[in-house]
Every structure is written in structure tokens, then in C-alpha cells.
Amino acid sequence: MAELVLNPRFRGFICTSAHPAGCAANVAAQVAVAKASPGAPLKNVLVVGSSAGYGLASLITAVFGHGAHALGVCFDRNASGDRSGSAGWYNLAAVHAQAKAAGKKVETINGDGFSTAIKEQVVAALKARFAPVDLMVYSLAAPQRTDPAGVVHKSVLKPIGAAYTAKTVNLDTNEVGPITIQGANDAEIAATVKVMGGEDWAMWIDALRAAGLLAPGFRTVAYSYIGPQITHAIYRAGTIGRAKDHLEATAHQLDAGLKAIGGNAWVSVNKALVTQASSAIPVVPLYISLLYKVMKQAGSHEGTIEQIVRLFRDHIGPGKTPKVDSAGRIRIDDREMDAPVQAAVAKLWEQVSTENLATISDFAGFRREFRGLYGYELDGIDYAKAVELDQPLV
Ligand code: NAD
């Protein structure tokens, strides 16, 4: 038990603490959006990567929008002494509390989702307390993976081929300047595919199938990104893009394998949004700042919860048939990729500099959301007040 006044220290895309009350406020806002858009009931849902970003929004949508019993898997930590817990932990503490108050069942298994041990724990929990799974969301984003053979793979965010130079914003100094990133070698490409490709997703599905936990008509979805020309070299044509190619190919293989039970596997291509994972990619925060400016002006901006509520409502929810592109992908990035939006962002991209960052981009919005991920700079929170850091998952 430790009650403390928290003073955040941000370094680049990392914050040394998270604020439990702020994280709870973020969750409450997402729960309200999910509740306002109720959908057809789901029975049992498994979310891997459930504590933040798109996975958290998926958990909240399943439970509060579709009445599901849900089991989540994350890699987080509660407070220890005077050290705060992680934002993901506090997010889930709030989800658990809200679910309990609403009489809904949510459980969390905290540990390395890439490991066989955690898969076994999940299978045991599903067998003991949940019926077969209707929907499994794979939303894990991690910098490294230890595979079942014990080999550690480290992902890199690099272009492939020639070195790449582009504008980026320094999150410590708020300065816009060029960054040059050397091209990845073959080993780095392969390692990134091992971490962020589809191999682990397929292992999860195999584990569920072997345990007889796939309900008839079982559905699974993983999240991908394509993005604009501006980020093409570092994202879709880069190492992470290779991993996404693998993830998308895995969806096709899984889909074929699920036919026998009337099931499906899809990739959903989502919009660029502020999350811990996306903030770590060079160039992307500056692109997001410009994108937010344009999409907010156009009235087409969505956050993670709006994106996922729409994904469930229009595509993957019970009884829905997804609309897919020519490569079989669901495209909830449609509003981001809208031609007039992209044309406006491309024009601003040419102009953006340290001097005009505050006026022509929504960098202020990016920063607020980024700090908000850790529970800071939110309205209605008294940051001068001590908060209890130890937040059990009830
Ligand atoms: P995030 O950083 O917000 O969340 C990642 C989640 O993975 C967290 O719940 C974390 O606890 C969990 N996790 C990390 N390592 C783990 C491990 N070893 N075991 C178990 N859980 C682990 O990430 P995000 O941005 O929401 O990304 C989720 C997916 O969505 C990724 O595939 C990402 O590429 C994709 N996506 C993100 C964006 C974006 O702009 N953020 C856009 C399109 C697609």
C-alpha cells in the first residue's frame, strides 16, 4: 500500500510512471462509448494484448458493447513499493472494477503471451471458467519475443534497402528535423517478422484448437497497418511492414484451417493512432499530428474505441459479414486513407517545421493523448492529490 502524489517524467516515448485515476478515467470514457453502441451478444472472447491501445478497446467493446465474458492477456505490472504500476495494469484494474460493478465477467492473465506457459494457463482458465471461445483478438505489440525454443528475437523499426531520411519530431524538444535510419539487414528483417508477424497468433489458434476451445463459427482478428506514402519507407516497406505481410498471410492460412468449423480469420487494417507502440516509430508521431489536424477539421477523427466499436458493428460482430479489400483485409483505416485527407496531410507535410508545428499540426493533441496514455493531463483529475498505487485486479 503506497499513497503518493505522482510527478511524471517523460523521456522520448517513455514515461516513468502511470496515474491510476487518470487511467481509470480513460477506461470510463471508453466504456461509455462502447455502452452507447450495443451490438449482438458475444459469449466468450479472448483478447491477447488486452491492456492498452487497440486490444484494450477490443476488450471494452466485447464486454460493455456485446455483453461478452472476456479473458485478457497482457504483460504489465502492479505497483511495487513507491514505483507505480504500468498504465496497462491500471487500465485493466479499472476494466475489472467496472465489469464487476456491472455484473460482467472479466479475467486477466498477466505474463509473456509469446510463451507456452501462458498459453497453457489461458487454456486451463478457459476450460475451467469459460465455454469455448467465439472471438479471439490478437493485438500484441512488443519489441521482442522469446520463441518456444528459447531464442530471443528483437524487432527493429528500419527501412529495407537504402538508408531513409525523413522529417520527424523529437518528443523531448518538440523540434522537427531530419532523421536518417540505415536499412535493416536480413537478420533484422527476419527477427522483426518473428516478433510482429503471425507465427505466435497461429500458435494461439493451434493451442485453442487442440484444447477443443474453438466454438462453431469461431472468429479471430489481428490488427495491421498500411498508411500513406509519407511513412511508406519506414512502415509498410520497412521491417514492420514485412511482419505485417506475414501477419496478413497468416490470416489467410488460419482462415482456410477454420473452414471446417465455419470459422474465419481476418486482419483488420486500423487507423494510425497514439499508442505506446505507435509513438515509438520514428516519423509516425509527426504524421499523426498532421493527420489529427486534418481529420478533426473534417469531422472524421476516431480514437481506438470508435474504431473498434465500428469494427465489431460493421464487420466482425455476430452475424456480420466483413467487407474486405482485394487482399481480403478489413479496412477501418478508410477514413484515414480517404484521398482528400491524404492530399491535405501531404501538403502540410511539405510545410511542417519546428516554427509552425503548433499551428499547422495537432501536435498539442498528439502530446495530450500521449501523456493521457499514462493517465496524465486529463481533465477532472486532481494531480496534486495522493493516489493509492496498489490497484488489485478485482
Ligand atoms: P499498445 O502498445 O497500445 O498495446 C500492446 C499490448 O500488447 C499491451 O496490452 C501489452 O500489455 C501487450 N503486450 C506486449 N508484450 C506482450 C507480451 N509479451 N505478452 C502479452 N502481452 C504483451 O499497442 P497497439 O498500438 O494497440 O498495437 C496493437 C496492434 O495494433 C499491433 O499489431 C499494431 O501493429 C496494430 N496497429 C496499431 C496502430 C496504431 O496506430 N497504434 C494502427 C494499426 C494497427
Ramachandran angles phi, psi of 153, nearest 5°: -110, 130
187 located within any domain: yes
DSSP secondary structure letter of residue 17:
-
**Rounded Cα distance, 315 and 58, in Å:** 13
Residue 385 has a CB neighbour count (10 Å cut-off) of 10
CB 273 less than 6 A from any atom of ligand 1? yes
Q: Is residue 175 part of a domain?
A: no
Residue 190 lies in a domain: yes
Q: How far apart are CA 277 and CA 291, in angstroms?
A: 17
pLDDT digits (tens), the chain, 394 positions: 678 999 888 888 889 899 999 999 999 999 999 999 999 999 999 999 999 999 999 999 999 999 999 999 999 999 998 999 999 999 999 999 999 999 999 999 999 999 999 999 999 999 999 989 999 999 999 999 999 999 999 999 999 999 999 999 998 899 999 999 999 999 999 999 999 999 999 999 999 999 999 999 999 999 999 999 999 999 999 999 999 999 999 999 999 999 999 999 999 999 999 988 888 888 999 999 999 999 999 999 999 999 999 999 999 999 999 999 999 999 999 999 999 999 999 999 999 999 999 999 999 999 999 999 999 999 999 999 999 999 999 8
Contact 387, 19 (CB under 8 A): yes
Annotated catalytic residue: which of 90, 138, 223, 235?
235
Residue 172, domain member (yes or no): no
Nearest CA to ligand 1 atom 40: 272
Alpha-helical segments (H) within 74-218: 87-101, 116-129, 186-196, 199-210
20 lines ligand 1 (CB under 6 A): no
Instruction: Please check whether residue 394 lies inside any domain of the structure.
Output: no
Distance (Å) from CA 74 to ligand 1 centroid: 10
In whole angstroms, give the CA distance from residue 312 to residue 335.
17
Rounded CA gap, 250 and 266, in Å? 9
Give this prediction's pTM. 0.97
Asked whether 13 and 280 are in contact (CB, 8 A), the reply is yes
Q: What is the pLDDT of residue 280?
A: 84
Q: At what angle do helices 20-35 and 53-60 cross, to 10 degrees?
A: 50
Distance 142 CA to ligand 1 centre (A): 7
- Written as nine digits, the cell of 392 is 488489485
Residue 286 lies in a domain: no
Is residue 138 situated within a structural domain? Answer: yes
Its domain, for residue 61, covers: 3-143+183-280+303-336+373-388
Number of compact structural domains in the chain: 1
Q: Is the CB of 90 under 6 A from ligand 1?
A: no
Q: For residue 187, what are the contacts with CB-CB under 8 A and spacing of at least 6?
A: none
384 alpha carbon – ligand 1 mean position (Å): 31
CA 42/CA 135 separation, integer angstroms: 8
Q: In b/e form, how buried is each residue of 155-181, taking b as 16+ CB within 10 angstroms?
A: bbbbbbeeebebbbbebeeeebeeeeb
Q: Is 270 in the pocket of ligand 1 (CB under 6 A)?
A: yes
Residue nearest ligand 1's atom 21 by CA:
74
Secondary structure E strands in the chain: 3-4, 10-11, 14-15, 44-48, 69-74, 106-110, 133-138, 144-146, 152-154, 164-169, 176-181, 214-224, 264-269, 330-331, 387-388
Going by C-beta distance under 8 Å and a sequence separation of 6 or more, which residues neighbour residue 182?
Answer: 158, 163
Look at residue 166 in the predicted model and tell me its pLDDT: 93
In a domain, 323, yes or no: yes
264 ligand 1 Cβ < 6 A = no
142 lines ligand 1 (CB under 6 A): yes
**Burial classification of residue 272, based on how many CB atoms lie within 10 Å of its CB (0-12 exposed, 13-18 middle, 19 or more buried):** buried
Identify which of 146, 275, 305 to mutate to test ligand 1's pocket (most ligand atoms within 8 A of the CB). Answer: 275
* 374 is annotated as an active-site residue: no
Say which CATH number the domain at 63 has. 3.40.50.720
